[in-house]
Amino acid sequence: MPDELRLALAFSLALGTALMAVPAAIRLAWRTGFLDRPVGFKKHGRPTPYLGGAAVMAGFLPAAVLLGGGASKYAVIVLCALGLFAVGTLDDRIGLGPLERVLVEAAAATALWSAGLAWYVSEIEAVNLLLAIVWVVGLVNAFNLMDNLDGAASSVTSVAAAGAAALAAVQGDVLLAALSLSLAGAYVGFLPYNLARPARIFLGDGGSMPAGFVVAAVVMGISPEAGLGQAVVLAALPLVGLPVLDTTLVIVSRTRRGVHVLSGARDHLTHRLLRLLHTPRAVALTLALTQSALCLVGLALFEAPTAAVIAIGSGVLAAGAAAVLALDWSYEVDAAPYEGDAAALADPAPQELGP
pLDDT for the residue numbered 123: 85
Cα(182)–Cα(194) distance, integer angstroms = 19
Examine the pLDDT at 19 and tell me if it is beyond 80: yes
Examine the pLDDT at 3 and tell me if it is beyond 90: no
Q: Is the pTM of this model over 0.85?
A: yes
Q: How confident is the prediction for the chain on average, in pLDDT?
A: 86
CA proximity to 156, closest of 190, 123, 128: 190
Examine the pLDDT at 233 and tell me if it is beyond 80: yes
Element holding 275 (H helix, E strand): helix 269-277
The DSSP annotation for 124-179 comes to: SHHHHHHHHHHHHHHHHHHHHHHTTSTTHHHHHHHHHHHHHHHHHHHTT-HHHHHH
pLDDT for the residue numbered 345: 36
Q: Of 98-107, 127-136, 300-309, 332-341, where does mean pLDDT reach its minimum?
A: 332-341
Q: Of 229-243, 288-302, 339-353, where does mean pLDDT reach its minimum?
A: 339-353
- pLDDT tens column, 251-298: 888 887 777 767 666 778 888 888 888 899 999 999 999 999 999 999
Examine the pLDDT at 6 and tell me if it is beyond 70: yes
Longest CA–CA span in the chain (Å) reads: 60
Residue 173 has phi, psi (to 5 degrees) of -105, 90
Beta carbons within 8 Å of 270's beta carbon, 6+ residues apart: 146, 148, 149, 152, 246, 283, 287
- pLDDT tens column, 156-198: 999 999 999 999 999 889 999 999 999 999 999 999 999 988 8
The DSSP annotation for 193-241 comes to: HHSSSS-S----HHHHHHHHHHHHHHHHHHGGGG--GGGHHHHHGGGGH
Cα(162)–Cα(170) distance, integer angstroms = 12
Where residue 307 falls (left for φ over 0; alpha for ψ -120 to 50; beta otherwise) is: alpha
Beta carbons within 8 Å of 350's beta carbon, 6+ residues apart: 45
Query: What confidence tier does 226 reach under pLDDT thresholds 50, 70, 90?
Result: low
Task: State the average pLDDT over residues 138-159.
Answer: 92
Quick one: what percent of the chain has pLDDT higher than 70? 87
Query: What confidence tier does 332 reach under pLDDT thresholds 50, 70, 90?
Result: low
pLDDT for the residue numbered 350: 30
Residues 112, 217: contact at Cβ < 8 Å?
yes
pLDDT for the residue numbered 265: 67
Residue 334 has phi, psi (to 5 degrees) of -70, 120
Query: What confidence tier does 355 reach under pLDDT thresholds 50, 70, 90?
Result: very low
Task: State the average pLDDT over residues 210-215.
Answer: 96
pLDDT for the residue numbered 346: 33
pLDDT for the residue numbered 344: 36
pLDDT for the residue numbered 143: 95
Examine the pLDDT at 334 and tell me if it is beyond 50: yes
Size of the chain in residues: 355
pLDDT for the residue numbered 324: 87
Higher-confidence position of 250 and 41: 250
Beta carbons within 8 Å of 250's beta carbon, 6+ residues apart: 145, 261, 267, 268
pLDDT for the residue numbered 304: 87
Examine the pLDDT at 110 and tell me if it is beyond 90: yes
pLDDT for the residue numbered 39: 55
